[in-house]
Structure 1
């Protein structure tokens, strides 16, 4: 008599924002590679914007089926930490290649970039050199950006302006509102409108032009580098305390910061890697800001609602 042992293949559930999920879906070998070497299944759950991921997790609490969340950023780290739902890892984060030292072992960076405005070089001759020129110029520049209440990119602009103008940010927002065509829910929608010629400037990242550079024979979009400096975004991955697949979660996080996955990010996600790898040649054509900054994370959380309310009140016409 023969007995056959039936092995249950573990499923790792990962909450992720939709635009990143579409990038992974278009490159299935990333998913299948991890599944093959770890004898498991990856289940990616797309959840709109990155802020939606945390909102869903807070609502589900300890009953969440997620093992990992992927797509939080440095500007929501304090909010995420306060949920007490995440587990510290044993990854040596200080070895990661970032513009500054990272010392948080719970929220692990996997990519980073700089917020910037991009423009169509065939449409726009003169470009602003700093925020003051953007706000005060008589040039009728049309702007599209994302809603800071639900979009991490939009919230990044809010922090960027707050860092430069401080208590006078409401004045800056009133001037921006006069040049704003529309405020979208997410980056994907705003990029589609921009590519159709609906605006002169789009809130995006310095690296966003990489896709256009590599897929077209000529340069169509340019990056505006401001003398004021640029706000930095760091994208993060973290595992849940209540996960039943903690060892597998650790393996996936290590996979995400491995050369294999990091190379994929530079060619598809268009953000900078967090380890030392050879960048695609197109990155030599992407300008990088000489000055960058960010707020302390607890300071962001103490002021989040106040700043959002100030933005909302300032854009009402």
Structure 2
């Protein structure tokens, strides 16, 4: 029976699962990252919405960032309580798959109007939002903003970014530098190190320091200014547009390989793709929706960027080497 279609609401899905006996009330444990579950993130509203239709408790467990989340899942192994893993990205998918941490989602993705540019066909992971890494600056503090990665490295501007060992934005910057500089990446990292205020464990800490005026630029997303414009009515924060292009990040969710509540986990993944839920995620997680029929304020349209393509499989194979290049360069 194909009950996972766009014509069937999450409420109907729940009813069908309950009727078939494959879904029972209980607790759904979702492992994610801390900004997703914060008071201003999408987690609280998604919890309210999902619990209203699932006859269950949705329980979030958070890590600092996506890389920390993957590390936690790897350490817990078959002892994990996770039913759903939410907050890895395309670059971490090969590693999670190789470690056997996820299972098939069982959804028919053609039943949702996903953006054609994503070309999403994965059987284990679903996308729930996407964005582009960018350096953010305050227009009142930076008079002549940089327009390329090379210009940033050549400047004397102070920079905050995240540790690529624990943070998906940090890994995004690693892929960015590797894509642009290749064999000259060590030199690029050393040049960046001269202007680096600090490297934080996760995104929240770095962005908080930036808002306190501790650096000229912070590594974040092209959608970050949307938050300030829509929530704070402030247009002082601007996302750079680099001549070399930007690294895109697609964030994904999957059912844990060790879940004892697979039907409920599957229903939650379907819930994440609902149009109203996509709008909530976009305007609370400050990323772009993966559906092409979600209407958002105009400021989100300004977030699109030219993309530098990086192979996830190549990044997976080279991750240890690229991390070693980074560690050696910044320790000098």
TM-score, normalization by structure 1: 0.92
Deviates more, 1:82-91 or 1:24-33: 24-33
Do residues 236 (structure 1) and 255 (structure 2) align? no
Which of 19, 30, 33 matches 2:35? 19
- For residues 294 and 19 of structure 1, the distance between their equivalents in structure 2, rounded to whole angstroms, comes to 26
Counterpart of 1:111 in structure 2 is 129
Identify unmatched segments of 5+ residues in structure 2. 1-22
1:265 shift after superposition:
1.1
Do residues 247 (structure 1) and 263 (structure 2) align? yes
**1:29 to 1:161, Cα distance in 2 relative to 1, 3 A:** closer
- For residues 74 and 183 of structure 1, the distance between their equivalents in structure 2, rounded to whole angstroms, comes to 23
Do residues 297 (structure 1) and 315 (structure 2) align? no
Which of 239, 248, 268 matches 1:223? 239
- For residues 104 and 40 of structure 2, the distance between their equivalents in structure 1, rounded to whole angstroms, comes to 26
- For residues 85 and 303 of structure 2, the distance between their equivalents in structure 1, rounded to whole angstroms, comes to 30
1:244 shift after superposition:
1.7
Deviations 1:123-161 (A, max 9, x none): 111111212222224xx2111101111111111000011
Identify unmatched segments of 5+ residues in structure 1. 1-6
Contact 1:62 1:242 (8 Å CA) reproduced: yes
Counterpart of 2:89 in structure 1 is 73
Alignment of 1:89-100 (within 5 A): 89-93=105-109, 95-97=113-115, 99-100=117-118
1:295 shift after superposition:
1.9
- For residues 151 and 280 of structure 1, the distance between their equivalents in structure 2, rounded to whole angstroms, comes to 27
TM-score, normalization by structure 2: 0.88
Look up the SS of the partner of 2:118 in the other structure.
coil
1:83 shift after superposition:
1.3
Counterpart of 1:135 in structure 2 is 153
- For residues 100 and 120 of structure 1, the distance between their equivalents in structure 2, rounded to whole angstroms, comes to 31
Query: How many residues are matched?
Result: 308
Contact 1:229 1:292 (8 Å CA) reproduced: yes
CA RMSD after TM alignment: 1.9
Counterpart of 1:204 in structure 2 is 220
- For residues 192 and 49 of structure 1, the distance between their equivalents in structure 2, rounded to whole angstroms, comes to 15
